[in-house]
A and B are shown apart, each in its own frame.
Chain A
Amino acid sequence: MTMTGKALGGTGRWLDDRLHAAHGTRYLLRKIFPDHWSFLLGEIALYSFIILLLTGTFLTLWFQPSMTQIVYHGSYLPLRGVKMSEAYASTLKISFDVRGGLLMRQIHHWAADLFMAAIMAHMIRVFFTGAYRKPREMNWLIGIVLFTLGMFEGLFGYSLPDDLLSGAGLRITEGILQSFPIVGTYLAFFLFGGQFPGHVIIPRLYILHVLVIPGLILALITAHLFLMFHQKHTQMPGKGRTDTNVVGAPMYPYFMAKTGAFFLFVFAALALAGTFAQINPVWIYGPYNPVAMSAGSQPDFYMGMLEGALRVMPNWQTVIWGHTISWNVFLPALVPLGIIFTGAAFWPFIEQWVTGDRREHHVNDRPRNAPTRTAIGIAAITFYGVLWAEGANDILADHLDISLYSITWAARISMFVGPVIAYIVTKRICLGLQRKDQHLLEHGVETGIIRQLPSGEFIEETRPVDEEALAVLQSRPVHPELPPGESAESGVPAPGMRGALGKVRSRLYKVITESAPMEDGHGNGHGNGHAAIGDGHGNGHANGGQQPATVSAGDGSGDAAETEGSQPDPDADEPGH
């Protein structure tokens, strides 16, 4: 052993004798992480958050969260001599007088946008792969809370510079608070410390933005990651991947190298955007002035859906005993996003209740293999997307030469019709893809080779799918035809399935578990198709063919599950492959 080696070993032993860290570290370093690009979406959010903390700390060194009015004398000439708040003046100072200040501001803002965009993408990935299922429901809920906190963190953050645009956002915030029946006015006065805009809102938002919400987000991210680490990461279906193992690369050195590189990619993307793309140019918006407003006043994109909800809403108000209830603000502020978030939060439990599936799931679903879930997800995205686009209705009208009210009416109709169409179309696509998978499983991959049999018949030669693809194709879950507890023979519902609630559950069960039939039951088709694949297959399907043609979907499923289990054998037997 060299001198250095001894020294290192000695130090290590000294430390380990006191900290007993070697065991834990080894466990940590050998931790397995599955590899899939979509598993890195959450990491984009994590790394954006780290960059947000770093750039945000830099900005606090110069930012003055004060609404004291001063006259500007800084180096941005066009606003010299203009009265503005210290918050706005210090933002101008960061942008024009602090070395690297504008770059930091822009990276901070782009990182906020990327943070929220990555959260959305990550949430969509988790939903469509069913990665929220037991045991990960808590992490799913934490994720929704993080999303909500991120929205508020962003709103409060871009409200701080006290420019024209942010002031407009705060005005809407005030309006939403005021729209709460009975307590609205008190809520608004409570937040703003009196009449809008008052003198305290920026200092208050500042402490929420730099301390309270980031603290909460940091704590919840820690919990989120700890749970992910403890419960182990889900994996995509594939060869040798089960609910009881994790197939992937160990933390050290593979995952560490990859994730370290990925942090640098995210950082690079943000640095490039911060350098080359101007974001939130507060100097051209001018200082906030309650009587002024600009065309094209939009919030940042993650609030765009709320903006759209507000714009799509008809002007409804009710006056009861001299008290005005502003449905025109109250409903759009709470209902659409409420549907999305509440629906998302309850979904894992609804699904569990309906399917009775209380098993742990560590292998993800392919979106096509849960057609109803995928269809509901796309419907929700459509609903969100319509309102999101409506939030930019004036920009769309101006740049696409469409009448503003046409867009509003299109949004009013498509926010209801769009999700329904999206649901139906998505479900059909999923079922179609399932049939395609089933076809591959039963008939193999078409080779393009046409062979003539001695009888004169032409057939196309097929070959079975390879092992990896086979594992993916076979990952489709098998649902019993009837909800658990219900017995087909007796025709008597189980105790839990009686009553109105039970009937609802039993009906929902049929919808949620709707899948393409596992075997299409065409005896003739099978005979022809399988002759070419090989003896093993031929035998397998000869059995299938003996079944009566009127086989029900449930029976078919059961058989198919068995066939799947035995399928590797005929493949292995085949000498030709």
Chain B
Amino acid sequence: MSWITARRRHPAAGYAILVLGLLLIGTVYAAITEGSAGASAPPVANAKQIAYGRKLFVATCATCHGEYAQGQADTAPSLIGVGAAAVDFQVSTGRMPAAELGAENPRKTPRLNERQTHAVAAYIQSLGGGPPIPSAAEVSTTGANVGLGQRLFVAECAQCHNFVGAGGALTYGKYAPALTQATPTQIYEAMLTGPEAMPVFNNATITPAEKRDIIAYVTRVRSEANPGGFSLGRIGPVTEGLVAFLGLLLFCVLAAMWITAKQRKAHD
């Protein structure tokens, strides 16, 4: 620590302390409010934000959803009453604006940034009703019951999303996506709004506390180590069978070929 002692009377010392202090406060603040920084508190809708949202909506969404979000037959549903949560889910996962009309819109890099997304969400919310974007506290997994979350996930979600959220196929080209990238807010919004083929799990069927348990399970299991070695994708016995044939059996057959390659010379 002698270098601090030696420099404590340096002309710049005071500024350095000030900068360090600001950094510290900033970091702590950021840590405390991290949830809202990542997923953001529901934007307090004001006329300016709504107007900005409407401008963005007309530019990026109206082609399909109509100038007043009234929707278009066979192409895009009406967005009146879907709520900010639905918009935030669709736009923040990059599913909207859609690249093409298909069975399922894949997750991709979002086109709009967070401020823009919230503005569009505020505009749609202003058209009437629908669930708002959940707050950081609502999606916080602090104190959540992972064990209960596991049971709930297996009972309600795994039949489509697989037991660890690795995803699965649905009918007619639709699929339940892998939950490897979904943020807590997005998982919450998905349960609340039921995007694509997913059913709506409102707060009566799965209470907000249970939703947090499920989020805790999903976010924990995807980072859980595989004590048995390589995970083989954690999609069940199909990849295990593949390894049994292409790994084990092939190895043993090659060994057999090697062992029998050298034939013993006949007596004659």
Contacts and interface: CB of A to CB of B under 8 A. Distances in A.
A201 interface: no
Contacts of A278: 226-232
Nearest to B103: A403
Contacts of A291: 155
A116 B248 CA distance: 11
Given A279-B240, A289-B151, A301-B237, A394 B253 contact: no
B221 interface: yes
A19 interface: no
Contacts of A280: 237, 240
A278 B155 CA distance: 24
B161 interface: yes
Contacts of B251: 265, 269
Contacts of A403: 103, 171-173
Nearest to B245: A117
Nearest to A110: B248
Contacts of B243: 113, 273, 277
A279 B266 CA distance: 45
Interface in A391-408: 392-395, 397-398, 402-405
B227 A249 contact: no
B150 A79 contact: yes
Contacts of B232: 277-279
Interface in A234-291: 240, 247-249, 254, 258, 261-262, 265-266, 269-270, 273, 275-281, 284-286, 289, 291
B214 interface: no
Interface in A295-317: 295-301, 304
Contact of A78 (B146, B176, B244, B256): B146
B222 to A, nearest CB: 11
Interface in B118-174: 146-147, 150-151, 154-155, 158-164, 166-173
Interface string B97-122: 00000010000000000000000000
Given A106-B228, A394-B169, A297 B236 contact: yes
A449 interface: no
Interface in A68-117: 78-82, 95-96, 102, 106, 110, 113-114, 116-117
A37 B256 contact: yes
A422 interface: no
Given A82-B151, A286-B154, A405-B172, A114 B248 contact: yes
A254 B217 CA distance: 57
A273 B260 CA distance: 24
Interface string B187-214: 0000000000000000000000000000
A294 B159 contact: yes
Given A281-B226, A289-B154, A296 B256 contact: no
Contact of B220 (A78, A299, A304): A78
Contacts of A106: 228-229
Given A36-B260, A261-B259, A293-B158, A114 B249 contact: yes
Contacts of B160: 295
B19 interface: no
Contacts of B150: 78-79, 82, 286
B166 A275 contact: no
A37 B247 CA distance: 17
Contacts of A286: 150-151, 154, 163
A81 B263 CA distance: 61
A296 B252 CA distance: 29
Contact of A270 (B230, B248, B257): B248
Contact of A301 (B164, B234, B240): B240
A277 to B, nearest CB: 5
Q: What is the interface residue range for chain B against chain A?
A: 35 or more
A531 interface: no
B255 to A, nearest CB: 4
A393 B238 CA distance: 10
A443 to B, nearest CB: 28
B260 A277 contact: no
B217 to A, nearest CB: 8
A393 B169 CA distance: 9
A37 B162 contact: no
Interface string A422-463: 000000000000000000000000000000000000000000
Given A277-B228, A280-B237, A300-B241, A82 B259 contact: no
Given A114-B244, A273-B243, A405 B229 contact: no
Given A265-B255, A296-B238, A394 B249 contact: no
A349 to B, nearest CB: 30
A283 to B, nearest CB: 8
A102 B255 contact: no
Nearest to A295: B168
A292 interface: yes
A295 B252 contact: no
A95 B151 contact: no
A37 B220 CA distance: 47
A404 B259 contact: no
Contact of A298 (B175, B236, B257): B236
B224 interface: yes
Given A78-B147, A295-B161, A301-B241, A397 B264 contact: no
A41 interface: yes
A351 interface: no
Contacts of B167: 295, 398
Given A40-B260, A254-B264, A292-B158, A117 B170 contact: no
A273 B248 contact: yes
A36 B103 CA distance: 52
Contacts of A110: 244, 248
B235 interface: yes
Nearest to B251: A269
A292 B162 CA distance: 11
Contacts of A405: 171-172
A80 B148 CA distance: 10
A432 to B, nearest CB: 26
A296 B230 contact: no
Contact of A95 (B164, B227, B252): B227
A294 B170 CA distance: 12
Nearest to A399: B235
B60 to A, nearest CB: 26
Contacts of A187: none
A165 interface: yes
A291 B253 CA distance: 43
A87 B235 CA distance: 23
Given A270-B248, A295-B176, 17 more contacts: A36-B260, A80-B147, A82-B150, A110-B244, A113-B240, A113-B244, A273-B247, A277-B229, A286-B163, A295-B159, A295-B168, A298-B236, A300-B241, A395-B236, A397-B169, A398-B169, A404-B171
List the 5 shortest-distance A-B pairs measured between CB atoms, nearest first.
Answer: A295-B168, A301-B241, A278-B228, A397-B169, A113-B244
6 contacts: A39-B260, A80-B147, A277-B230, A284-B163, A284-B221, A403-B172
Interface of A: 35-41, 43-44, 78-82, 95-96, 102, 106, 110, 113-114, 116-118, 121, 164-165, 240, 247-249, 254, 258, 261-262, 265-266, 269-270, 273, 275-281, 284-286, 289, 291-301, 304, 392-395, 397-398, 402-405
